[in-house]
């Protein structure tokens, strides 16, 4: 029922946006880097309460390399339905503004050069200050059900494969002499367990972060990292500590373009939503969290000590 309502909601949402002019900039009470938020230390904290993270569902926030645009997904009630929106916050003359772009079109990920916005197996390209229409990747990438595609400075693509049984693998495709190689699975050091998803590769390809499940029967995503070894291989997966991974679910991690902070999604509870027909549903609430990226350096020391 939940999936059915989301499908109906998204369809009505797209129809709504085709016939209205809601895609306009709204000034926010926020100025400065990271919306003027106080930076976190080595203990994660909710990111931008009231601006990004609310009592509803938000996730997959990503900054452009110049740190002047922030794209994310959120869920709101609109026209009697829960709708998922694709939103951008823009820094214009040191004043942040909000613009609702459309309904959900995929999980955004932006290349290190800022010229490509990956949306699963679709994408946009940047021209001056605007994004192109959505384009579709061709074979062999269109054969995979991709949730997140990310890329490095060298043009290496990393992506997941959403399957119903949780056995999808994380894969990579390199750019060699201007040509893209066929996708290959990462080694077992990474592709172990179930529900491996949402990969993020460091711009210099020195590490890979993803979420998955490696122990326990209850489905619950944890964050892992693997560091590139001197010989080019990938080291054994290291699970982030208890400050990051909690008994709830953590997923969708990425590091800000300036390398300062690790962002990820965390399920923080549930909320009750009542439809216009009077039916009440319990909906998961996910917020965006951030933590000092020095936590990655600590895990690197742990990896080197093995």
Using the predicted structure, report yes or no on whether residue 16 has a pLDDT greater than 50: no
User: Half-sphere exposure of residue 200, counting CA atoms within 13 Å on the CB side?
Assistant: 26
pLDDT digits (tens, 9 = 90+) for 44-83: 999 999 999 998 899 999 999 999 999 999 999 888 888 9
> Residue 184 phi/psi, 5° resolution?
-125, 145
Residue 276, CA distances (Å) to 11, 57, 273 in order? 18, 20, 10
Summarised one tens digit per residue, pLDDT across range 161-182 is: 999 999 999 999 999 999 999 9
d(CA 257, CA 65): 5
Confidence band, pLDDT 50/70/90 cuts, at residue 281: confident
Query: For position 3, what pLDDT does the model report?
Result: 44
Paired sense of beta strands 175-176 and 179-180, if any: antiparallel
**What is the per-residue pLDDT for 21?**
37
pLDDT band at 129 (very low <50, low <70, confident <90, very high): confident
Nearest to 172, CA basis, from 184, 189, 188, 155: 184
In the chain, what's the furthest Cα-to-Cα distance? 61
DSSP 8-state secondary structure symbol assigned to residue 7: H
Of 90, 6, 107, nearest in space to 51 by CA = 90
- What values do phi and psi take at 295, rounded to 5? -60, -30
1 pLDDT more than 60? no
- Domains of the chain: which residue ranges? 2-304
**Higher pLDDT, residue 274 or 185:** 185
Residue appearing with tokens 């049984």? 165
Q: CA of 105: how far to CAs of 13, 72, 118, 157, 267, in Å? A: 12, 11, 10, 19, 21
| Those residues with Cβ within 8 angstroms of residue 161's Cβ, 6 or more apart along the chain or in another chain | 144, 145, 146, 168, 169, 170, 171
pLDDT (mean) for 169-196: 96
Tokens read off for 34? 């990271």
**What pLDDT does 275 receive?**
85
- Dihedral sign (CA 24, 26, 27, 30): negative
Residue 18 φ then ψ, to 5°: -75, -20
| CA gap 187, 246 in Å, rounded | 26
- Whole-model pTM: value is 0.90
Report the distance separating Cα 103 and Cα 86, nearest Å.
Answer: 5
Averaged pLDDT score across all residues of the chain: 90
Compute the distance between CA of residue 170 and CA of residue 186 in angstroms, rounded to an integer: 6
The domain made up of 2-304 has a fold known as: Neuraminidase (2.120.10)
How far is it, in rounded angstroms, from Cα 219 to Cα 292?
27
CA distances from 231 to 110, 184, 224 (A): 28, 18, 21
């Amino acid at each position: 029922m939940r999936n059915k309502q989301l499908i109906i909601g998204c369809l009505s949402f797209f129809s709504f946006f085709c016939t209205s002019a809601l895609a306009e900039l709204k000034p926010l009470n926020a100025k400065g880097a990271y919306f003027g938020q106080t930076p976190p230390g080595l203990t994660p904290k909710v990111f931008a309460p009231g601006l990004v993270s609310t009592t509803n569902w938000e996730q997959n926030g990503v900054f452009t390399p110049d740190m002047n645009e922030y794209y994310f997904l959120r869920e709101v009630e609109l026209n009697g339905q829960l709708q998922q929106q694709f939103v951008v916050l823009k820094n214009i003359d040191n004043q942040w503004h909000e613009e609702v772009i459309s309904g959900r079109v995929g999980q955004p990920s932006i290349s290190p050069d800022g010229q490509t916005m990956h949306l699963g197996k679709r994408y946009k390209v940047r021209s001056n200050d605007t994004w192109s229409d959505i384009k579709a990747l061709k074979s062999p990438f269109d054969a995979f059900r991709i949730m997140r595609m990310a890329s490095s400075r060298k043009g290496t693509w990393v992506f997941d494969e959403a399957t119903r049984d949780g056995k999808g693998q994380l894969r990579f495709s390199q750019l060699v002499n201007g040509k893209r190689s066929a996708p290959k699975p990462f080694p077992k050091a990474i592709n172990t367990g179930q529900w491996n998803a949402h990969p993020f590769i460091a711009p210099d390809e020195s590490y890979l972060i993803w979420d998955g499940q490696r122990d326990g029967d209850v489905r619950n995503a944890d964050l892992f990292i693997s560091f590139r070894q001197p010989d080019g291989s990938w080291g054994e997966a290291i699970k982030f500590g208890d400050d990051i991974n909690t008994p709830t679910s953590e997923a969708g991690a990425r590091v800000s373009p300036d390398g300062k902070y690790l962002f990820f999604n965390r399920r923080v509870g549930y909320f009750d939503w009542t439809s216009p027909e009077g039916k009440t549903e319990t909906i998961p609430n996910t917020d965006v969290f951030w933590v000092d990226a020095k936590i990655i350096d600590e895990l690197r020391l742990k990896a080197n000590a093995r």
